[in-house]
Amino acid sequence: MSLTQRAALAACLVAGVRAGYVMEKEEGPGLFYVHGRYKFYVSEKSPDSDAAVMEISKFQITPSNLAGTTSGNPPKLNLAMVPLRSFQQFVADNISMCTEDHIFRIDPRHSAVTKEISSTAGAVSAQLKLSEGGAHMFMIVNCQSNDAVTVGGSVRVKNSWGYLDGTDYYKLPVYACALGVSLISIFVYGVVIMQQEETIRDTQYYCLLLVFMSLVEAGLACGNLYMENEGMPTWHSIVEAVYLAKLMYGLTFMAQTAMGLGFTVHRLDWVTTTKCYVIVLVYVLAAMPKIRILSIRPHLALFDTRDIIQATAPVVIVTSVILCWLVWSLGSLMRELRKRDDSDALAACKRIAGLFGSLMVAASLTLVGQMGMSEKEVAKSTWKFALWNDAIASATFLAIIIAMMYFSMENFVGIALQMDQLPTNELDVEDAADSPNNKGGAHDDEEEAIFGEGPPSAQTIGAAVE
């Protein structure tokens, strides 16, 4: 399956029922062909729980040739759910499931459940008990018809806990923890901010908004997973939209901080702010194919390593360029703060540079873990998918925001900068205050901004947020 086909499958999954597989008038397999369509991770059968059930809903086949079939017989297909190890054996050994008499047949030792559908039967619905748990492959087999057909319908598996797939089952505790941590962080941070003497600063406003977005995302994800488990329609697209918004806003905060947000009494001008938003937008556009491919990877029948490299290469290249730009921007900021002899802001800038470095290391290790996770690992330990794709990413984001909350409680701006008395290389802070050029107070349009020689775009960095 090509990268384009996988993208189409991802769009189908988002539009359909997340806990199952939905087909909408897709091309069926040719004669003696097998289509491995979707991989399910089924709960293990135990004495305390019933076997999982495959539910087929409104499955029907339609001849593509409106004039009729070439053989005169109605087309028939077989739907089958087989353990993943059996499917892999079929592929590796090129085992046929069709006899020379055009009869569909699978050895009982493969523990498969099957259902035959015909074009004359209309929409078919059925419930079939699976004989064992673990990873299964849903297949469509054509042993009888030489006519082109389209297939439509949906299939899902009801596990011992509900309709959630095994890979999604472990996401619920991840987002429940994120919800609790976000709620506690907002409460504690809000109480601390209310007790400070000065009004809320821009960096504190950013931190509050980011942790609130994390709270909303975790709450929606928990609700979405609950609804999936109950077999109800979901709002998966809304959860994805909130995640992307949180990602964009968080990266924009990082970019603006590297450009000097919080380290001067001046706000960033609109040119610098626009540059930050454009850089983040380019990153998100480059990252979307990678996010989509990695999210559907465990459910695909076959996966080519070249496809994942093709999807991740753009985001790696763009991230490398952005990282170089961040390092250069932070270096310029530190040089300017040294020039102004502002030790307080310089110390804070070094701490944040270290925080950004830790974030880059964590993101790189997470990407390596996601790409290195094999199909066998996921089938054997389904919790690993939730660990690398949800738990580590969520924990890293919250850890960075909580650290920024802690740093933001100390005003990054040195005393000289807070008083709009900016030291230069010729004069120290005290001499600058007594200089004849500064008598009577400096005019706003003559103040030197930390970036550029023009006047500031605003008078304060957030001594207050209007």
Q: E strands, 49-144, where?
A: 53-63, 76-83, 113-118, 124-129, 134-142
Span 296-322, pLDDT tens digits? 888 887 777 778 888 888 888 998 888
Domain count for the chain, please give it. 2
pLDDT for 218: 95
Secondary element (H or E) of residue 236: helix 236-258
Instruction: State whether 270 and 307 are in the same domain.
Output: yes
Residue 91 structure tokens:
């592929």
Nearest-angstrom CA–CA distance, 243 and 425: 45
* Inside any domain, residue 351: yes
Does residue 363 contact residue 312 with C-beta atoms inside 8 Å? Answer: no
Does residue 139 contact residue 34 with C-beta atoms inside 8 Å? Answer: yes
* Inside any domain, residue 439: yes
* Inside any domain, residue 6: no
Query: For 291, which DSSP code?
Result: H
Instruction: State whether 183 and 278 are in the same domain.
Output: yes
Does residue 135 contact residue 375 with C-beta atoms inside 8 Å? Answer: no
* Inside any domain, residue 70: yes
**261 Cβ contact partners less than 8 Å away, ≥ 6 residues apart:** 202, 203, 253, 267, 268, 461
pLDDT for 411: 64
Tally of CB atoms within 10 A around 166: 26
User: What are the per-10-residue average pLDDT scores of the chain (466 residues)?
Assistant: 44 47 85 86 69 88 65 81 89 84 85 88 88 89 86 90 89 94 94 86 88 94 92 84 89 86 71 87 88 83 77 88 88 85 81 88 86 78 88 92 87 48 42 47 40 36 37
Nearest-angstrom CA–CA distance, 205 and 262: 11
Instruction: State whether 177 and 242 are in the same domain.
Output: yes
**β-strand partners of 59:** 124
* Inside any domain, residue 11: no
Residue 336 belongs to domain spanning: 166-446
Give which of 357, 415, 223 is closest to 349, Cα–Cα: 357
pLDDT for 266: 62
**307 Cβ contact partners less than 8 Å away, ≥ 6 residues apart:** 2, 3, 6, 293
Span 197-237, pLDDT tens digits? 878 888 888 899 999 999 999 999 999 999 999 988 888 88
DSSP string, 193-232: HHHSSSPPPHHHHHHHHHHHHHHHHHHHHHHHHHHHHTT-
pLDDT for 46: 57
DSSP string, 330-357: HHHHHHHHHHTT-HHHHHHHHHHHHHHH
Burial of 183 (C-beta count, 10 Å sphere; 0-12/13-18/19+)? middle
pLDDT for 45: 66
In the three-class reduction of DSSP (H, G, I as helix; E, B as strand; rest coil), residue 310 is classed as: helix
Secondary structure of 32-62 in the HEC alphabet?
Answer: CEEEEEEEEEECCCECCECCCEEEEEEEEEE
* Inside any domain, residue 42: yes
Instruction: State whether 212 and 180 are in the same domain.
Output: yes
Give which of 198, 257, 201, 265 is closest to 462, Cα–Cα: 201
Nearest-angstrom CA–CA distance, 178 and 292: 22
Instruction: State whether 296 and 422 are in the same domain.
Output: yes
Q: In what order do the strands lie in the sheet with 33-42?
A: 33-42, 134-142, 76-83, 113-118
Nearest-angstrom CA–CA distance, 106 and 112: 7
**279 Cβ contact partners less than 8 Å away, ≥ 6 residues apart:** 255, 322, 325
Query: For 327, which DSSP code?
Result: H
* Inside any domain, residue 399: yes
DSSP string, 368-403: HHHHH--HHHHHH-THHHHIIIIIHHHHHHHHHHHH
How long, in residues, is the chain? 466
Across the chain, mean pLDDT equals 79
Instruction: State whether 67 and 148 are in the same domain.
Output: yes
Taking CB atoms within 8 Å and a gap of at least 24, the contacts of 101-105 are: 102/143, 102/144, 103/143, 104/78, 104/141, 104/143, 104/144
- Residue at which a domain ends, from 103, 138, 158: 158
pLDDT for 413: 56
Instruction: State whether 269 and 415 are in the same domain.
Output: yes
Nearest-angstrom CA–CA distance, 362 and 27: 42
- Residue at which a domain ends, from 158, 191, 210: 158
Instruction: State whether 232 and 152 are in the same domain.
Output: no
Residue 436 structure tokens:
């004849």
Instruction: State whether 146 and 185 are in the same domain.
Output: no
Instruction: State whether 154 and 171 are in the same domain.
Output: no
- The pTM for the full model equals 0.76
Domain holding 229: CATH number?
1.20.1070
Rounded alpha-carbon distances, angstroms, from residue 120 to 114, 123, 152:
18, 9, 14
Domain holding 130: CATH number?
2.60.120.680
* Inside any domain, residue 456: no
Does residue 276 contact residue 252 with C-beta atoms inside 8 Å? Answer: yes
- Residue at which a domain ends, from 124, 142, 158: 158
* Greatest Cα pair distance in the chain: 104
**β-strand partners of 23:** 153
Instruction: State whether 52 and 128 are in the same domain.
Output: yes
Instruction: State whether 149 and 170 are in the same domain.
Output: no
**158 Cβ contact partners less than 8 Å away, ≥ 6 residues apart:** 52, 53, 55, 231
